[in-house]
């Protein structure tokens, strides 16, 4: 055990200490063992203090709770010293913005969570809420400290409760920098953003050994809950990187798109782009063949400031792209169908991904730009059985509930219920623009003609009649002009002016005021 008395000698009833003695105590108390640090490095991981130094501005970290000790006495704990109780907490600045940080230290008792460990994190959460600043969690822990039993479990509950209170109030960011297993995974799951690193991050409820014992399935840690699994298959993680250093740079970039809290605006960032720039490449980006795909990310590059954007959930449900960008200096969230995958149709996973992103942007006052090229919801027995009705309803609900500025651009196809779900005018879009070749209808022309003229088509041996009716249907029902005449589309614009029109709309909507109906809360179709 650390002998605190030796650091605070009494002379005539008063504590006497000079600055050198104070530096000695902080050095002794804030580091894990040399063996623990070496083991951490040998496993390819940074220590908690190294991670904090990668994240924050130089010399800006102020530690809190350094002297906190556990109070457990069972199983030999009375004689066991756990520096900092296995977690480093404090506040700092990132790009000169204040943040709170709680970083678990795996070099100290495997970063296990006990009563006082949890108290330090919970107090950090409360301080961040009180200050109205983001909080960053670095998760690297063996889970609940078994020796502390129910006190450890209660500590998890307190952290979960605070995360829920902070949801939609301050940005909460989780970095999975090691194992995060069992009930502990719900701490990051309740935050806004989860970052993972290849060969470092591990997240799962039940470990491989238990799974093998209970179900007979043989799986390794990486396959079960590694970075690839959680970012590509489950969609639990939103950002994935190859190295820890890249991960921390990613956290910094994400923060640049976010406000400090839900009552604040995103800070302005300098950019070199021209607000009146024409993007001539967009005039020819849509293929002449309706079934031919193109990369929606190129459209995003053309409209974003300096062609830069930061993708959210890049590897999960790639048939829809969600990302942060700046347009005219304004931080925006972009939701866009990706014709390169499933022709841009919406399935269960894409609906969930987009819905979560829309709600995140709305919570933190980030305007939404929706780029539409959607042939419909993905058909099939598998999707129906997965609950495409329920999942698709989430997207409808999220867009309808969002009160931030909402601007929609219909690029090509906008069919059926999926057209509505992609932030149509009827769901509350402030402005809806369409490119000249856009098709807005219940379904594609060929399918519609097949239903409307089923009897006549039986005698159409050469396909002439069908071709004629398809042409008529497109002209009378699918042209953006028809939608514009009914006020469903505000304007038909050339693709090259898209960026300019978005900027002018964002400037107008800066003063948008939206009032919600008074109620406890809605009942989202989860």
Residue 175 to residue 197: CA distance in whole angstroms: 9
Exposure of 195 in the CB half-sphere (CA atoms within 13 A)? 25
Joined tokens for residue 333: 């969230």
- 182 noted as active-site residue: yes
Residue 477 to residue 439: CA distance in whole angstroms: 9
Catalytic residue among 132, 149, 168, 183: 183
Question: Are the beta carbons of 502 and 429 closer than 8 angstroms?
Answer: no
- 417 noted as active-site residue: yes
Q: Classify strands 62-64 and 10-11 as parallel, antiparallel or unpaired.
A: unpaired
Catalytic residue among 132, 235, 417, 447: 417
Q: Which of 318, 324, 392, 408 is nearest to 352 (CA)?
A: 392
243 by Cβ neighbours in 10 Å (0-12 / 13-18 / 19+) ranks as middle
Question: Are the beta carbons of 170 and 129 closer than 8 angstroms?
Answer: yes
- 183 noted as active-site residue: yes
Catalytic residue among 182, 235, 428, 437: 182
Q: Phi/psi class of residue 509: alpha, beta or left (left: φ > 0; alpha: ψ in -120 to 50)?
A: alpha
Element (H, E) at 423: none
Joined tokens for residue 389: 């009705």
Q: 3-state class of 440 per DSSP?
A: strand
Joined tokens for residue 206: 């039940």
Catalytic residue among 418, 429, 448, 484: 418
Please list the active-site residues. Answer: 182-183, 417-418
């Amino acid at each position: 055990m650390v002998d605190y008395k030796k650091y605070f000698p009494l002379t005539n009833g008063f504590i006497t200490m000079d600055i050198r003695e104070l530096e000695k105590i902080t050095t002794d108390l804030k580091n894990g063992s040399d063996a623990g640090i070496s083991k951490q490095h040998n496993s390819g991981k940074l220590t908690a203090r190294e991670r904090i130094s990668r994240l924050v501005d130089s010399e800006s970290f102020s530690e809190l709770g350094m002297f906190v000790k556990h109070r457990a006495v069972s199983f030999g704990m009375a004689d066991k010293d756990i520096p900092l109780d296995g977690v480093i907490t404090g506040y700092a600045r990132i790009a000169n913005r204040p943040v709170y940080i709680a970083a678990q230290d795996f070099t100290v008792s495997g970063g296990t969570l006990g009563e006082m460990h949890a108290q330090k994190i919970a107090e950090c959460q409360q301080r961040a809420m009180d200050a109205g600043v983001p909080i960053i969690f670095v998760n690297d822990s063996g889970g609940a400290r078994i020796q502390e039993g129910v006190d450890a479990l209660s500590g998890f509950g307190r952290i979960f409760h605070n995360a829920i209170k902070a949801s939609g109030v301050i940005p909460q960011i989780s970095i999975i920098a090691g194992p995060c297993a069992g009930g502990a995974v719900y701490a990051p799951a309740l935050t806004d953003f989860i970052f993972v690193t290849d060969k470092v991050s591990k997240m799962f409820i039940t470990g491989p050994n238990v799974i093998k014992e209970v179900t007979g399935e043989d799986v390794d840690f990486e396959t079960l809950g590694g970075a690839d699994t959680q970012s590509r298959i489950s969609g639990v993680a939103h950002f994935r990187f190859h190295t820890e250093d890249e991960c921390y740079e990613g956290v910094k970039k994400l923060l640049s798109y976010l406000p400090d809290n839900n009552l604040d605006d995103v800070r302005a960032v300098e950019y070199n782009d021209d607000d009146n720039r024409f993007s001539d490449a967009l005039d020819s980006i849509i293929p002449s063949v309706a079934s031919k795909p193109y990369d929606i990310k190129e459209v995003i590059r053309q409209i974003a400031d300096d062609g830069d954007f930061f993708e959210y959930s890049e590897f999960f449900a790639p048939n829809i792209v969600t990302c942060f960008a700046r347009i005219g200096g304004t931080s925006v969230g972009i939701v866009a169908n990706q014709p390169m995958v499933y022709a841009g149709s919406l399935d269960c996973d894409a609906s969930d991904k987009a819905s979560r992103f829309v709600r995140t942007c709305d919570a933190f006052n980030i305007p939404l730009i929706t780029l539409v090229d959607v042939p419909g919801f993905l058909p099939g027995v598998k999707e129906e059985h997965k609950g495409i009705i329920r999942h698709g309803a989430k997207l409808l609900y999220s867009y309808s509930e969002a009160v931030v500025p909402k601007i929609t651009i219909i690029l090509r196809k906008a069919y059926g219920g999926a057209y509505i779900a992609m932030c149509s005018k009827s769901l509350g879009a402030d402005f809806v623009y369409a490119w000249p070749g856009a098709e807005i209808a219940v379904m594609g022309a060929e399918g519609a003609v097949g239903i409307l003229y089923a009897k006549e088509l039986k005698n159409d041996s050469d396909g002439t009649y069908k071709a004629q009716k398809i042409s008529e249907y497109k002209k009378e029902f699918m042209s953006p002009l028809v939608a514009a005449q009914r006020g469903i589309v505000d304007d038909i614009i050339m693709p090259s002016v898209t960026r300019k029109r978005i900027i002018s709309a964002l400037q107008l909507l800066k003063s948008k005021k939206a009032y919600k109906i008074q109620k406890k809360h809605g009942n989202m179709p989860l």
